[in-house]
Amino acid sequence: MSERINGAEALMRSFKEENVTTIFGYPGGFIIPVFDALYSYQKEFDCILTRHEQGAVHAAQGYARVTGQPGVVIVTSGPAATNVITGLADAMLDSTPLVVITGQSIVAQLGTDSFQETDVIGITQPVTKWSYQIRRAEDLPWAVARAFYIAREGRPGPVVLDLTKDAQTQLFDFEYEKCRFIRSYQPNPTPDQADLALAADLINLAKRPMAVVGQGVMLGHAEKELYEFLEKADIPAASTLLGLSIMANDYPLNMGMVGMHGNVAPNRKTGECDVLIAIGCRFSDRVTGDINTYAANANIIHFDIDPSELNKNVRVFLPVLGNVKQTLPAVTRLLKPARHTEWIASFKTYKEQEDKQVIARDLHPEGPAITMAETVKCISDKSGKQAVLVADVGQNEMVSARYFSAGPGRQFVASGGLGTMGFCLPAAVGAALGAPTSEIYAVCGDGGIQMTIQELGTIMQYQLPVKVVVLNNNFLGMVRQWQELFWDKRYSSTRMQNPDFVQLAASYHIAGRRVEKREELSEAVQQMIDHKGPYLLEVHVEEEGMVYPMIPAGQPISNIIMGPSEK
Amino acid sequence: MEKKFYTVNVYSENTVGILNQVTNVFTRRQVNIESLTVSRSSIPGVHKYTITATTDEETIAKMVRQIERRIDVLKAFYYLDDEIIFQEIALYKIPTDKVMEHGIIEQVVRRYNARILEMNRGYTVIEQTGHNEEIEQLYRDLEPTGILQFVRSGRISITKSSIERLSNFLAEMEAKRLASEQSYK
Ligand SMILES: Cc1ncc(C[n+]2csc(CCOP(=O)(O)OP(=O)(O)O)c2C)c(N)n1
C-alpha cells in the first residue's frame, strides 16, 4: 500500500512508525516544509521550540537519557546545523541515541556556497554514529528507518539526516519498512562462550573482586542482570559518573563512584583488587588517571558491546564482547555463590576516612558560607524517590554526583565525556518532558547556566516544572580550583560578574529566590520543591570552595588529595 | 613499541563519504598515510581500500577497530608484508634520445620485468610492476637519462592465508539477516 505524499509529510509518518512523540526544533528557510507538515501533526507530536539549536540537541539528550528512547531534533541548514555540533559530539561520547534532522539547500546549489549551505556531512561525520544526506524524497523512508535503527541499536549514538529542500517537497509513493538489519553493522555481537567461561573462572577464583559499573548497563537495560551478578558472587561495585543511579545509593554492594572526584574507597580499592570487572564503561582518563598504574594488581575483565573500546585505553586480561544484557547472566550462571565479607568490610576504613576528612567538612563547614555540598544534600534529602538531577559541568557537577543520592533508575544526567558547560538547563527541559512525573532539578554553576540561559524561555513557554538551582560562586569554580591547586592562585579569567539570576528568572515569569544564609537554605529548598511549576533558586555558595577528594589529572589514582592541608 | 610498515585493507559499502571517515581515523592519531588505493572489490557493491602506514601494532590494531566501527564499513584488517602478496605500479617518461644513448632499454626490461608502453621520437614510457624497493632502484637507474615524469600507484595486496575473512563475514551476516527476518514473521 503506498500513497503519493511529499517528503515532509513522509517524515511525519516515518516518525509515527518509529513511535516518536516529542520533537525539539527550531525552524528556518530550508526546513520550512517540514515545520509546515508538523503544523498538521500537533496532536501526534509535542514540538518544543527551544531558544537555540544547541539547546534543542541537549534537550533531546536529556529526553533520551531519562527515557532510553532516541531524542529527535529538527533544525534548519547552515548556522543551525553548525549550532548542533556541540550536542552531537556530546551525545557521541556519552552514547546517547539521537536522530537530528538538518535542513539543507536545494540539490542544484549544493557545493556552490549557496545561502546557508554548509557541508553538514563533512562536519558531522566525526561526531556522529552515522550521517547521511537525503537528496530525493524516495530515499527518505529508507534513511529515516536506518537512522532510528542505528541510533538505537548496539551502542547508541547520534545520527544526522541532512534533508535537502528538494527531498522535503518532492511527491513520491510512500511506503515504510522498519530497518532490522544492516549488513555492515553488527549491533549485538555474539558472545564467545569460552570468554564467558573464563570470566566466570577468574571471578570464582578471585579473593578481592571489584566491579566498575558504567552507563552500558543502563543502555543495555541490564540493571536486574547486574544485581544478580553482583549478589551471587558478592562483588563490591562502584559506578562511573554516567553509571550513577543504576545502583541505589543504599544498595549494600554499592561502594560509590570512581574517578577524579570519586570516592576514596573504590579508587583505592582499584589498586588493591585482584580481579577488576568493568561493565559497560570505557576507561575514561577521568576514571583511570595514569593508565600505567591503573589496577596494577588486578586481572581486568572488560564487558562491552563495542569492540573498539576493548583494549583501547586500558590493556585488559580478558575482553568480553557482547551486550551485557546477555553476557552478564551467562556469566552469572557459571558463578559459584561466594562471600567476600572481609574484603567488602575493608572498604569501610577508607569510607570513614572520607567521611571524616571530606564529607564532614563539606556538610558541616566551619565558615559562614553555604557549601555546594550542603545545598545538594539538602535537595537530595527533601526530594522524592523518583527525582532526577541534571547537572551542568564543573564543581556543581562533581558535587551533585557526590551528594545526590539517586536510583535505582535513570536519575542522574550529566555531560560526561565532553564535559559541556551549558548542558544542564536544556537537558533538564528534555528530562522534564521525558519524565513528566518526576521532579527535575537542574543544578548548575553561574558560568554554565549563562551558556544556555535563554532556555529559561522554553521552560516558560511550556511551563515545565524544572527546578533550576544556580550554585553561584561568582567564579568559574572548577577552573579556579585548578588555578588554586596547580597555578599558584593566578585566577586568570575565572572571576565572573553575574546578573541577578532571580530577577532574570522573574522576567521570564519564573518564580525564584536567592539564599545567602545557611539558616534559610532548608526552608528555601522546601519552598522550591513545594512550588508548582518552574522555579529558580540562586544559592550564594562559598566563593573559593573546593571539590575534594581530587586525583590530579594523569596521576596514579592512589594520589588522592583529601583537603587543603596537603597537596 | 616497535614501528612497522602495515598494510590495511578496508571493505565498505559503496556509499558516499566513507573515504573521509576512514582517513579521519588516521588523522586523529597523527599517523601518516603512505599510500591509498580505492577500487571495487570482487564482491558486487563492496569497495576495497588498501592503505599503507608506519606505526606500532597496538596503534594499528586500535585504528582498524575504529575504522570498523563506522557503520558502512564491513570489515578492516591489517597485515605485515610477509602475510600478503602485493604490488605497486610505476610509470616513467624519459627522453627517447637519452634512452638510446645510455642503451639501457633491454637491461631495464629484462632485469625489472618492465615494459615499454609507448615509444616515439620524443619520449619513451616504461611501465614497471613490483615492490617499493624495485621501483626505487629502477628510478635510480633511470635518473641519469633525465626522467621527464615519474608516477607510482599506491600498493594493492592480496592475502596469503587460505581463509577468506571477508567472505566468511558476509556469510555470517547473511545468516543473521535470515534469522532476523524469521523472527519478525
Ligand atoms: C563549553 C565549555 N567551555 C569551557 C569549559 C571549561 N570548564 C570546565 S569547568 C569550568 C568552570 C565552570 O564554572 P561554573 O559553571 O560557574 O561552575 P562551577 O565549577 O563553579 O560549579 C570551565 C570553564 C567547559 N567544560 N565547557
Give me the mean pLDDT over the A87-98 stretch: 98
Three-state DSSP at B48 gives strand
| Closest approach atom of ligand 1 to CA A419 | 25
Give the count of beta carbons closer than 10 Å to the beta carbon of residue B52: 22
Q: Quote the crossing angle between the two packed helices A7-17 and A32-39, to the nearest 10°.
A: 60
Which mutation among A476, A496, A540, A541 tests ligand 1's pocket best, with the greatest number of atoms within 8 A of CB? A476
Alpha helices in A180-233 (DSSP H): 193-205, 216-219, 223-233
For A254-399, strand residue ranges (E) read 254-257, 275-279, 299-304, 318-321, 388-391
User: Is residue A362 one of the residues assigned to a domain?
Assistant: no
**How far is A306 from chain B, CA to nearest CA, in Å?**
8
Find the helix or strand (DSSP H, E) in which B60 lies.
helix B57-68
* In this structure, CATH architecture of domain B85-156: 2-Layer Sandwich (3.30)
Are A242 and A318 members of one domain?
yes
Report whether pLDDT(B105) > 90: no
Asked which of A115, A144, A174 is the last residue of a domain, the reply is A174
User: How many Å apart are CA A501 and CA A512, to the nearest integer?
Assistant: 9
User: How many Å apart are CA A312 and CA B107, to the nearest integer?
Assistant: 51
Report whether pLDDT(A100) > 80: yes
**pLDDT cut 70: percent of chain A above it:** 99
Q: Which pLDDT value is given to residue B113?
A: 85
Residue tagged 615494459 (cell numbers): B115
Q: Which pLDDT value is given to residue B109?
A: 79
Are A32 and A138 members of one domain?
yes
B interface mutation test: which of A184, A283, A302 has the most B CBs within 10 A? A184
Cell representation of residue A251: 544498595
In tens, the pLDDT along A378-391 reads 999 999 999 999 99
User: How many Å apart are CA A432 and CA A440, to the nearest integer?
Assistant: 6
Enumerate the β-bridge partners of residue B158. B85
User: Is residue A184 one of the residues assigned to a domain?
Assistant: no
Contact status of B20 with chain A (Cβ, < 8 Å): yes
**Confidence band (pLDDT; 50, 70, 90) for B184?**
low
Which CATH number covers residue A307?
3.40.50.1220
Q: Which pLDDT value is given to residue A519?
A: 97
B interface mutation test: which of A99, A134, A183 has the most B CBs within 10 A? A183
Are A93 and A229 members of one domain?
no
Which of A130, A181, A310 minimises the CB distance to B180?
Answer: A181
Give me the mean pLDDT over the A132-157 stretch: 98
Name which CATH class applies to B3-79: alpha beta
Q: Cα A362–A367–A373 angle (5° rounding)?
A: 25
Give me the mean pLDDT over the A433-462 stretch: 98
Burial of A362 per CB tally in 10 Å (0-12, 13-18, 19+): buried
Residue tagged 606500532 (cell numbers): B56
For A349-449, strand residue ranges (E) read 388-391, 412-413, 440-445
Residue tagged 532571580 (cell numbers): A502
Are A407 and A289 members of one domain?
no
Query: Residue A24 belongs to what domain range?
Result: 3-174
How many domains does one find in chain A?
3
User: Is residue A560 one of the residues assigned to a domain?
Assistant: no
Which mutation among A52, A94, A375, A393 tests ligand 1's pocket best, with the greatest number of atoms within 8 A of CB? A393
Are A159 and A209 members of one domain?
no
Three-state DSSP at A201 gives helix
Residues of A designated as active site? 53, 115-116, 165, 478
Taking all residues of chain A, what is their mean pLDDT, rounded to a whole number?
A: 97
Contacting residues of A for B66, CB less than 8 Å apart: 308
Which of B17, B74, B180 minimises the CB distance to A121?
Answer: B17
In tens, the pLDDT along A322-372 reads 999 999 999 999 999 999 999 999 999 999 999 999 999 999 999 999 999
In tens, the pLDDT along B15-56 reads 888 999 999 999 999 999 999 999 999 899 999 999 999 999
Q: Which pLDDT value is given to residue B11?
A: 97
Output DSSP code: residue A192.
P
User: Is residue A452 one of the residues assigned to a domain?
Assistant: yes
User: Is residue A361 one of the residues assigned to a domain?
Assistant: no
In tens, the pLDDT along A240-255 reads 999 999 999 999 999 9
User: Is residue A280 one of the residues assigned to a domain?
Assistant: yes
What sign results for the dihedral spanned by CA atoms A331, A335, A337, A341?
negative
User: Is residue A326 one of the residues assigned to a domain?
Assistant: yes
Output DSSP code: residue A409.
S
Contacting residues of A for B180, CB less than 8 Å apart: 180-181
Which CATH number covers residue A437?
3.40.50.970
Inter-chain contacts counted by CB atoms under 8 A, chains A and B: 54
Asked which of A141, A174, A207 is the last residue of a domain, the reply is A174
User: How many Å apart are CA A424 and CA A466, to the nearest integer?
Assistant: 11
- Name the segment(s) of chain B with CATH classification 3.30.70.260: 3-79
* Contact assignment for B68 to A307 by CB distance below 8 Å: yes
Cell representation of residue A286: 577521568
Three-state DSSP at A446 gives helix
Are A505 and A391 members of one domain?
yes
Q: Which pLDDT value is given to residue B111?
A: 86
Contact status of A312 with chain B (Cβ, < 8 Å): yes
Per this entry, what is the length of chain A?
567
Contacts of A252 (CB under 8 A, 6+ apart): none
Q: Which pLDDT value is given to residue B102?
A: 76
Are A311 and A381 members of one domain?
no
Q: Which pLDDT value is given to residue A567?
A: 44
Contacting residues of A for B17, CB less than 8 Å apart: 121-122, 125
- Name the segment(s) of chain B with CATH classification 3.30.70.1150: 85-156
| A253 within 8 A of A231, measured Cβ to Cβ | yes
Residue tagged 585482584 (cell numbers): A274
The full DSSP string for A502-551 is HHHHHHTT-EEEEE-SHHHHHHHHHHHHHSSS-EEEEEEB-TT----SB-
**Confidence band (pLDDT; 50, 70, 90) for B185?**
low
Q: Which pLDDT value is given to residue A1?
A: 58
Q: Is the CB of A318 under 6 A from ligand 1?
A: no
Q: Which pLDDT value is given to residue A369?
A: 97
Q: Which pLDDT value is given to residue B140?
A: 93
Contacting residues of B for A121, CB less than 8 Å apart: 16-17
User: Is residue A546 one of the residues assigned to a domain?
Assistant: no
Are A124 and A213 members of one domain?
no
**Overall pTM surpassing 0.90 (yes/no):** yes
Are A330 and A385 members of one domain?
no
Report whether pLDDT(B93) > 50: yes
